[in-house]
Amino acid sequence: MSLVDINSKVGEPWVELPDGHELESWGKEERITWNQQGRQAEKYRFFRQIFDFITDNSISGAYHEYGCHRVRTFRMALTEARRHGLSEMDFFAFDSFQGLPDSTSSPDHAVWKQGALSTSEADFKRLIGEHGIFADRVRTIPGFYADSLSEDLQKRFVEEEQPIALACIDCDLYESAVPVFRFIEPMLQEGSVLYLDDLFAGYRGSPVRGVARAFSEFRARSRFKFVRHVNIGWWGRSYIAYKDDPSVPVDLD
């Protein structure tokens, strides 16, 4: 049974639960598999929903992903873009392709060490090619964000590329998220969706640390307002950019 298939039953406890016998040999590998099944199912559910939102609201623009380890969510985006007939969408993969940078923000997650979560650019392109959807519309921008997300690159995106329809921000660390938010600001439009994958991960769920802190700082200075949209599991959330109208009270958070 996976988190996707929680089955009801007649009588207490009203849902099917594995008992001690079924979990007798349960260990680390089983736990990892269980968590990954549930987490990736939640993420794919989000991508199915959000591409419906994008097409239903006629939001044109590009897909940006910041943090592309194992190409999971990137393939989800490509699949749903194809399902919704978005053949003109461009897809940009921003990643060091060397794993995480050294961190000064002291994340609590034991895995988030320098060099961790590394998928090479060659492996990224191989997996995109094998997936076989819009591979010719995918571009990689390699490098650590403090270096790669330069003002020159930002200017080129503003002048030459589409605005952002959807940005998946999965860069884990506070110091990685700060340059991402700075970079995307001029590419945002009303209706742009930001998916913050690690809003409650890595820093014990603290809203004053990690990606949550970087997003709060960004919201305070952005020309857009952001309304809370979809929860993705326990760890993530999406927001929609909109233009403020001081005459209309907004209370959707």
Q: How many CB atoms lie within 10 A of CB 123?
A: 13
Residue 1 lies inside a defined structural domain of this protein: no
Residue 3 binned pLDDT confidence (cut-offs 50, 70, 90): very low
Residue 133: give the domain boundaries. Answer: 28-242
Cα distance between residue 132 and residue 218, in whole Å: 36
Q: How many independent structural domains does the chain possess?
A: 1
**Is-contact 210 168, C-beta < 8 A?**
no
CATH number for the domain harbouring residue 212: 3.40.50.150
CA gap 58, 237 in Å, rounded:
22
pLDDT tens column, 147-179: 999 999 999 999 987 899 999 999 989 999 999
Band (102; pLDDT cuts 50, 70, 90)? confident
State the pTM of this model. 0.92
Tokens coding 243: 């233009």
Count of beta carbons in the 10 Å neighbourhood of residue 144:
19
* Structural domain contains residue 56: yes
Domain assignment of residue 7, yes or no: no
Does the bond joining 13 to the residue before it have cis omega, within 30 degrees of 0? yes
Average pLDDT, the chain: 92
d(Cα 190, Cα 177) in Å, to the nearest integer? Answer: 21
Residue at 19 is within a domain: no
- Nearest Cα neighbor of 192 from 181, 200, 205 is 181
For residue 204, is it within any domain? yes
| SS3 at position 37 | helix
pLDDT tens, position by position, 62-85: 999 999 999 999 999 999 999 999
- Give the DSSP per-residue string, 79-118: HHHHHTT-TT--EEEEE-SS-PPP-SS----TT--TT-S-
Residue 9 lies in a domain: no
In one letter, which amino acid is 183? F
Q: Sign of the C-alpha dihedral, residues 131, 134, 136, 138? A: negative
